[in-house]
Structure 1
Amino acid sequence: MPTVTVGDLSDGDFLLDVREDEEWQAGHAEGALHIPMSEFVARYGELTEAAPQDGRVNVICRSGGRSAQVTMYLAQQGIDAANVAGGMEAWAGAGRPVVDDKGQPGFVA
């Protein structure tokens, strides 16, 4: 499965967060698209509308397990996708900004 590290990502890279609502509200990467894994198949159209046509979809969750499952699903659909190793825990650990649903400093739940 294609995998990237937080260090591989640039500010403009597309990020899909598949954590649940309460995790997202506590803290997420600014600019990420949020579609919880539990709703992913039903809301798949939101991703196809928002994702770049010629870029990779970088999928993130808390630690990498759920995002790995979604990455495999996207690859089966023919989408260029990569799992973000370590998830939001690695994101925050690397000093990348985490914001809550009001745009204030957040935390990884």
Structure 2
Amino acid sequence: MGEFETVTVTDIPGDARILDVREDYEWSAGHAERALHIPLDQLPARLGELDPDEDLYVICRTGGRSFRAAKWLVGQGYSAFNVGGGMDQWLESGLPLVSDNGLKPVIL
């Protein structure tokens, strides 16, 4: 497996592709507006939706699932960064959130 880097939410460039690997209920409750949602267990089947030439900033709630996803993606030849602290850190940093359920965005 190739090497990958763990970064913080404040290290994510403004135009970066954020890949959220949390479950559907977590995504619906609150996520980064510009993120792409592919739950971790669906990643192998949906790999074709990702651009291998684009840097992917992989995020989950705290960093565990995104660590596994980033490691796997790099092993597949993709450029991926694990976002340490995940969406919990995103929220603590005051970065914008949206929800899909009509309620105030929260991180579950």
TM-based fold match above 0.5: yes
Q: Which letter maps to 1:13?
A: A
Match of 1:37 in 2: 40
SS of residue in 2 equivalent to 1:83:
strand
Contact 2:70 2:80 in 1 (8 A): yes
Q: Which letter maps to 2:31?
A: H
Unmatched tracts of structure 2, length 5 or more: none
| Deviation >3 Å, runs of 4+ | 102-105
Q: Which moved more, 1:5-14 or 1:28-37?
A: 5-14
CA-atom RMSD in angstroms: 1.6
- CA offset digits 1:47-100 (Å, max 9, x no partner): 23xx6x3x3100000000000000000110111110001000000110001110
Contact 2:29 2:103 in 1 (8 A): no
- Identical-residue share of aligned pairs (%): 49
SS of residue in 2 equivalent to 1:16:
strand
From 14, 31, 35, the counterpart of 1:11 = 14
Unmatched tracts of structure 1, length 5 or more: none
**Cα distance between partner residues in 2 of 1:44 and 1:17:** 13
